[in-house]
Amino acid sequence: MPRSSIAPRIPSSSLRCAAPDGFEVVDNPERLFDPSATMIMRAIEPPPPPQGLDIWTSKLLKKPIQNVIWTSGRGVHATFHRAAKRGHDFILARHLASGELYARGVETAAALRGLGLRPRLVSVDSRGLIKRLPTTELRKQRVALQLDAAHAKAERRDGHPITLFLRSTQARIYTVRVGIPDAE
């Protein structure tokens, strides 16, 4: 009588234990006890590492950040979309409503208003926003900054004007880039 026919049935949770780390058995479990049989295994994909936007959103939720600067409507929608996937969209909206929101551009302000949030300050461009930002209120404060990835190359070369301004106020900056970088 072959050994595999007298072997007890193995529950599927034990199959992972029988396979080396990072693999799972996808073959018939009874073949595990047959020394002449070849096991068929497949690699288990690890969960994807948290993306920058997920990490940034977690920081917004974990520690009180009273000042958030948004530079694109795409960033607003992407942030809330990721938060909604985790069931944190209402918590994020409540948290942001209690702080100060600043928006660069009418589209960004419209995206915030569409979510029931009211930006304190709206400016058409970065320079206008910098001129009107309350320097003394931002000094040595935690500031979350969402940048559009389309400006990522220019930012690496020259430094984004808002980032440079916040550094000059000695604010603690938490930055995230959202979108697809422009190809040059």
Residue 128 near residue 149 (C-beta atoms within 8 A): no
What are residue 42's DSSP bridge partners? 24
Predicted TM-score (pTM) above 0.75: no
Across the chain, mean pLDDT equals 76
Residue 20's pLDDT band, with cuts at 50, 70 and 90, is low
Sequence-distant (6+) residues with CB within 8 A of 48 are none
Give the Cα separation of 66 and 139 in Å (integer): 12
Tokens standing for residue 126: 């970065």
Residue 179's pLDDT band, with cuts at 50, 70 and 90, is low
Give the Cα separation of 155 and 153 in Å (integer): 5
What pLDDT, on the 0 to 100 scale, is given for residue 141? 86
Tokens standing for residue 141: 């404060």
Residues in the chain: 184
Residue 159 near residue 145 (C-beta atoms within 8 A): no
Residue 26's pLDDT band, with cuts at 50, 70 and 90, is low
Give the Cα separation of 26 and 12 in Å (integer): 10
Question: End-to-end CA distance of the chain, in Å?
Answer: 70
Residue 113's pLDDT band, with cuts at 50, 70 and 90, is very high
What pLDDT, on the 0 to 100 scale, is given for residue 183? 44
Chain-centroid distance of CA 175 in Å reads 11
What pLDDT, on the 0 to 100 scale, is given for residue 110? 94
Percent of the chain surpassing pLDDT 90? 15
Going along the chain from its start, the domains and CATH numbers come out as 52-178 (3.40.50.10090)
Give the Cα separation of 104 and 122 in Å (integer): 6
Residue 9's pLDDT band, with cuts at 50, 70 and 90, is very low
Residue 104's pLDDT band, with cuts at 50, 70 and 90, is very high
Residue 34 near residue 3 (C-beta atoms within 8 A): yes
Residue that wins the pLDDT comparison between 173 and 25: 173
